[in-house]
Chains A and B, each alone.
Chain A
Amino acid sequence: MLQVDLSFDLQHFSHGLESLQIEAATVRELLEKLDIRFPGLSAKIQKDMAVTINGVIYEDALLEPIEDGSEIYFIPKISGG
Chain B
Amino acid sequence: MSANKDLKWIGTSPVRPDGADKVTGRAAFGADRHLPGMLYAKILRSPFAHANIKSIDLSAAEKAPGVLAVMTSADLADLPSEMGAAGESQIDFRDLSQNILAVHKVLYHGHPVAAVAATSAKLAEEALQRIKVEYEELPVVLEIEDAMADDAPILHEDQFTPGGSTDKPSNIAEVKKLPRGDIEKGFAEADVVVEREFTTPTVHQGYIEPHAVVASMSASGHADVWCCTQGAFGIRAMTAKVLGMEVGKIKVTPSEIGGGFGGKTTPYIEPIAVKLAEKSGRPVKIVMSREEVFRATGPTSASIIKIKLGATNDGKLVAAEGTLKYGAGAYKGSPMSPGCMCVFASYEIPNFLIHGFDVVLNKPKVAAYRAPGAPMAAFAMESVMNEMASKLNMDPIDFRLANAVKEGSVAAYGPKFPVIGFVESLEAAKAHPHYSATLGKNQGRGVAAGFWFNGGMQSSATINVNEDGSVTVITGSPDVGGSRASMALYVAEELGISYDLITPLVSNTEEVAYCDVTGGSRTTFATGLAVINASRNLVAEMKKRAAASWDIDVSEVSWENGQAIASAGADKPPMPMTKIAAKASRTGGPLSGHSSLRPRGVGAGFGLHICDVEIDPETGKTDVIRYTAVQDAGKAIHPAYVEGQLQGGAAQGIGWALNEEYVYNDKGVLENFGFLDYRMPVANDLPMIDTVIVEVPNPAHPYGVRGVGETPIVPPLAAVAAAVNNAAGVRICDLPISPPRLLAAIDAK
Contact = CB atoms under 8 A, between A and B. Distances in A.
Interface of A: 5, 7-9, 12, 47-48, 52, 54-61, 71, 73-81
A81 B522 contact: no
23 contacts: A8-B178, A52-B414, A55-B416, A55-B418, A58-B600, A59-B456, A59-B457, A59-B600, A60-B598, A61-B600, A71-B415, A73-B415, A74-B414, A75-B341, A76-B337, A77-B90, A80-B372, A80-B453, A80-B521, A80-B709, A81-B261, A81-B368, A81-B710
Contacts of A56: 418, 600-601, 700
B90 A80 contact: no
B44 interface: no
Interface string B190-230: 00000000000000010000000000000000000000000
A55 to B, nearest CB: 4
B205 A81 contact: yes
Nearest to B87: A79
B83 A57 contact: no
Contact of B88 (A12, A48, A73, A80): A80
B636 to A, nearest CB: 19
Given A59-B456, A59-B598, A80-B519, A8 B369 contact: no
A8 B176 contact: yes
Contacts of B703: none
Interface in B152-188: 163, 176-179
B338 interface: yes
Contacts of A74: 414
Nearest to B85: A47
Given A8-B176, A81-B205, A75 B415 contact: yes
A80 B522 contact: yes
Contacts of B709: 80
B668 interface: no
Given A55-B418, A79-B372, A81-B520, A8 B710 contact: no
B454 A80 contact: yes
Given A57-B602, A80-B519, A71 B416 contact: yes
B550 interface: no
A80 B415 contact: no
Contacts of B455: 78-80
A75 B368 contact: no
B414 A80 contact: no
B262 interface: yes
B263 A78 contact: no
B12 interface: no
Nearest to B179: A8
Contacts of B415: 52, 55, 57, 71, 73, 75
A33 B416 CA distance: 24
Interface string B595-633: 000101110000000000000000000000000000000
Contacts of A73: 414-415
Given A56-B600, A58-B600, A81-B262, A7 B88 contact: no
Contacts of A8: 176-179
